[in-house]
Amino acid sequence: MQENQGTVNRRVLLSRRPVGIPQASDFVVDSAPVPKAGPGQVVVRNEWLSVEPAMRGWVNAAQNYSDPVPIGAVMRAFAAGRIVESHCDQWPVGVPVTGMFGWQEYALLDPKAIKRRIEEDDLPLSTSLGVLGLNGVTAHYGIFHVLKPLAGQTVVVSTAAGSVGSCAGQIAKILGCRTVGITGGEAKVRLCTDHFGFDVALDYKSKDFEQHLAQACPDGVDAYFDCTSGPVTDAVMQHLAIGARVAVCGTVSIPNWDPPPLGPRMERTLLVKRARIEGFVILDHADKDASARADLANWIRQGKLKYLEDISEGIESAPDSIAGLYRGENMGKRLIRLV
Amino acid sequence: MQENQGTVNRRVLLSRRPVGIPQASDFVVDSAPVPKAGPGQVVVRNEWLSVEPAMRGWVNAAQNYSDPVPIGAVMRAFAAGRIVESHCDQWPVGVPVTGMFGWQEYALLDPKAIKRRIEEDDLPLSTSLGVLGLNGVTAHYGIFHVLKPLAGQTVVVSTAAGSVGSCAGQIAKILGCRTVGITGGEAKVRLCTDHFGFDVALDYKSKDFEQHLAQACPDGVDAYFDCTSGPVTDAVMQHLAIGARVAVCGTVSIPNWDPPPLGPRMERTLLVKRARIEGFVILDHADKDASARADLANWIRQGKLKYLEDISEGIESAPDSIAGLYRGENMGKRLIRLV
């Protein structure tokens, strides 16, 4: 079975191994024939492509939590779309699906490669890549299973205007915590307070950032949801409360970890504050995704959880999009619209 | 009620605020009259004084987990002795006790200041300050409640020949783990393997230390009991296994934390390895001391747990004893014998 479709599949290939942040020049856009489904296979037409900071790690040679994308291969990426050709009864044409379908217009797949059928028909398809995708699920896991803050505690979130950070802050607020968001620039500070409901938002680019942070956390930081590492984290570590927990979700402020850059040693703070810092990779916890997504979708329907999408048009915008994230130019979850 | 005793109480007073490691010149030994017990009070004659790395933190001005010892006061220290004068029926003369009685020959106490009556009458009184004191209880807590290693996992211990590290390694071995001890110098390496039963012991002073560490941990480090921080820890962090846990028990390799020295940032390793690093202060967990001590005493009686004491004679040896610890000159738990 097959729907009407084009004849060309435009794809973004990794053309060389980036050092540090992948730039537009590390990719090429090519055109291939639209693939045909073989026995048991499906073809998905991608409607939305995802862009996220973790993609840096997926292409770098340095040790990471997945093997690097091979040179010449389609760039690994989450995408959402609909099945347009199917030789598999369980996955008929028209079904909305999401998974790691890559930066391309059409993906030929064994249905095992489909992460899930998108069930939230009342919400936009694009939410499956952001607030109902790994971003939201990451925020949910980090708050509920790593940080476990109690009502009334102070929760600090870095990259607070981003798709993970904004969700983490709102979940902490739903739990009754006091939330302090850290972001870059006045526009994002306002976004954090006015749109995402942080109690306080701070601009790490301000020369008085450290002083503002101290004022915002008079009783110390009970939990820190960190996507940045670097100087922002160094500042937060100085204000940990006794028994504080830090969740390392990402390290976007550090362009290159090979070798690791130097920073203030943490061991004494961890000891004196009886504190814990812990990294987590959401892909390890897929068993918790469905219940997290149910929480998130309900909070969206109840108006308790807001999200923001930063949409670029067309596959040509993909190669520069990771570098753009690291330039901090996006407001909200970065997505590429194909259809 | 009063036993025969001397008339002079020699005491070690903190004479100035040390920066970094406290030296002999930061203390003075004075003589005061032996105190007399008032109503409800007791006088303890100290038989053993304890010396430990944490004492550096007790006298430094930098933020720590207890208020600093005031200038002119008796140096804070654990001690073990017997009650020699008592105006309190529950604490009669002759009872062996331990607590923070200070670096002095006699301590005038409200009985509430007694940490415990020493019940292990079949074991030497000095064990109450080492393997059955905070050292052993710290090792027990770090292994059972922070690291929680499974049988067959690789457990690395720094300061492995020391009183905490040697105990931590032996407990891990009792749990069926593979144990790798890190210590300084050939004599301590032999002590770790031949006396304390580590599967492998490494000399961090060896020029091939990093290579030996890699060879000793071919499947990575599942748990790291750390008392050092610094370059030894940096080396171990490079070999963490997925899901590794690190317990920060002390930071003896860093002489001064004000400000914190620089080291390789850990965030990326923690993220990629889904690892955790956590500080703990044993004084927070006094509710677990008695059961830990029961385990430790039984293991000693069964010949499964060995300990070593490094004994100096007389209170005059106290002022230089902390600096001596940091010079690495002791073999085993450092104690000062007074009686």
Residues of A in contact with B233 (CB under 8 A): 267
Mean pLDDT value across residues B154-176: 97
Contact B267 A254 (CB under 8 A): yes
Contact A261 B264 (CB under 8 A): yes
User: Rounded to whole angstroms, how far apart are CA atoms A210 and A207?
Assistant: 8
User: What pLDDT does A66 receive?
Assistant: 73
User: What pLDDT does A256 receive?
Assistant: 86
Residue B235's identity, in one-letter code, is: A
Let me know: does A326 contact A157? Beta carbons within 8 Å. no
Task: Supply the mean pLDDT for chain B.
Answer: 94
Mutate to test the interface with B, among A265, A282, A283 (most CBs of B within 10 A): A265
Name the percent of chain A lying above pLDDT 70: 97
Q: Which of B162, B128, B156 is nearest to B143 (CA)?
A: B156
> CATH number of A8-130+308-337: 3.40.50.300, 3.30.70.20, 3.90.180.10, 2.30.30.190?
3.90.180.10
Mean pLDDT value across residues B202-206: 97
Residues of A in contact with B267 (CB under 8 A): 226, 229, 233, 248, 251, 254, 277, 279
User: What pLDDT does A65 receive?
Assistant: 64
CA B46 to chain CA centroid, nearest Å:
19
Shortest Cα distance from B235 to chain A (angstroms)? Answer: 12
pLDDT value at A40 more than 80: yes
Contact B254 A272 (CB under 8 A): no
Task: Supply the mean pLDDT for chain A.
Answer: 94
Residues of B in contact with A229 (CB under 8 A): 265, 267-268
Contact B267 A251 (CB under 8 A): yes
Contact A264 B262 (CB under 8 A): yes
Domain assignments of chain A as residue spans, ordered by start: 8-130+308-337, 134-283
Contact B274 A268 (CB under 8 A): no
Let me know: does B69 contact B59? Beta carbons within 8 Å. yes
Of the partner residues B65, B265, B270, the one whose CB lies closest to the CB of residue A278: B270
How many other β-carbons are positioned within 10 Å of the β-carbon of residue B12?
Answer: 24
Q: Which of A281, A259, A278 is nearest to A270 (CA)?
A: A278
Number of inter-chain CB pairs under 8 A, A vs B: 126
Mutate to test the interface with B, among A254, A271, A273 (most CBs of B within 10 A): A271
User: What pLDDT does B167 receive?
Assistant: 98
Domains A8-130+308-337 and A134-283 share a fold: no
What residues contact residue B127 under an 8 Å CB cut-off, 6+ apart? B120, B133, B300, B307
pLDDT value at B251 more than 70: yes
Ramachandran angles phi, psi of A229, nearest 5°? 60, -170
Nearest residue in chain A measured CA to CA from B283: A274
Name the pTM for this structure: 0.88
Mutate to test the interface with A, among B265, B266, B277 (most CBs of A within 10 A): B265
Contact B278 A277 (CB under 8 A): yes
Give yes or no for A329 touching B (CB within 8 A): no
Contact A270 B257 (CB under 8 A): no
Tens-digit pLDDT profile for residues A297-309? 999 999 999 999 9
Let me know: does B243 contact B274? Beta carbons within 8 Å. yes
Contact A276 B279 (CB under 8 A): yes
User: Rounded to whole angstroms, how far apart are CA atoms A249 and A283?
Assistant: 12
Q: Which of A241, A232, A231, A227 is nearest to A270 (CA)?
A: A241
How does A290-302 read in b/e, with b if 16+ C-beta sit within 10 Å? eebbebbbebbee
Tens-digit pLDDT profile for residues B103-135? 999 999 999 999 999 999 899 999 999 999 989
User: What pLDDT does A5 receive?
Assistant: 59
Residue B221's identity, in one-letter code, is: V
Tens-digit pLDDT profile for residues B4-24? 457 899 999 999 999 889 999
Give yes or no for B241 touching A (CB within 8 A): no
Of the partner residues B251, B265, B278, the one whose CB lies closest to the CB of residue A261: B265
Let me know: does A71 contact A14? Beta carbons within 8 Å. yes
Residue B197's identity, in one-letter code, is: G
Shortest Cα distance from A91 to chain B (angstroms)? Answer: 34
pLDDT value at B267 more than 60: yes
Shortest Cα distance from A333 to chain B (angstroms)? Answer: 21
The number of CA neighbours under 13 Å toward the Cβ of B227 is 26
Contact A251 B261 (CB under 8 A): no
Tens-digit pLDDT profile for residues A75-89? 999 999 999 999 999
Contact A279 B264 (CB under 8 A): no
Contact B226 A273 (CB under 8 A): no
Give yes or no for A273 touching B (CB within 8 A): yes
Which residues on neighbouring strands pair with residue A45, listed in sequence order?
Answer: A82, A106
Mutate to test the interface with A, among B272, B280, B282, B283 (most CBs of A within 10 A): B272
pLDDT value at A3 more than 80: no
User: What pLDDT does B332 receive?
Assistant: 84
Contact B273 A266 (CB under 8 A): no
pLDDT band at A17; cut points 50, 70, 90:
very high
Contact A274 B284 (CB under 8 A): yes
User: What pLDDT does B231 receive?
Assistant: 96
Shortest Cα distance from B63 to chain A (angstroms)? Answer: 8
Tens-digit pLDDT profile for residues A246-293? 999 999 899 888 899 999 999 999 999 999 999 999 989 999 999 999
> CATH number of B134-283: 3.30.390.30, 3.40.50.720, 2.70.170.10, 3.50.50.60?
3.40.50.720
- Dig out the tokens for B70 from the structure: 């005031």
Give yes or no for B268 touching A (CB within 8 A): yes
Strand locations in B211-332 (E): 221-226, 240-248, 262-264, 276-279, 309-313
User: Rounded to whole angstroms, how far apart are CA atoms A267 and A278?
Assistant: 13
Collapsing DSSP to helix, strand or coil, A210 comes out as helix
Residues of B in contact with A272 (CB under 8 A): 63-65, 279, 281
Give yes or no for A255 touching B (CB within 8 A): no
Residue B317's identity, in one-letter code, is: S
pLDDT value at A63 more than 80: no
User: What pLDDT does B1 receive?
Assistant: 53
Which residues on neighbouring strands pair with residue B98, listed in sequence order?
Answer: B80, B116
**294-313 in chain A: CB under 8 A from chain B:** none
DSSP H/E element including A155:
strand A154-157
Name the percent of chain B lying above pLDDT 70: 97
pLDDT value at A109 more than 80: yes
What ipTM score was computed for the predicted complex, to two decimals?
0.87
Residues of A in contact with B254 (CB under 8 A): 265, 267-268
Tens-digit pLDDT profile for residues A126-167? 999 999 998 999 999 999 999 999 999 999 999 999 999 999
Contact B248 A229 (CB under 8 A): no
Contact B267 A248 (CB under 8 A): yes
- Dig out the tokens for B26 from the structure: 């930061």
Shortest Cα distance from A160 to chain B (angstroms)? Answer: 18
User: Quick one: angle between helices B289-301 and B163-174, nearest 10?
Assistant: 80
Give yes or no for A138 touching B (CB within 8 A): no
User: What pLDDT does A60 receive?
Assistant: 86
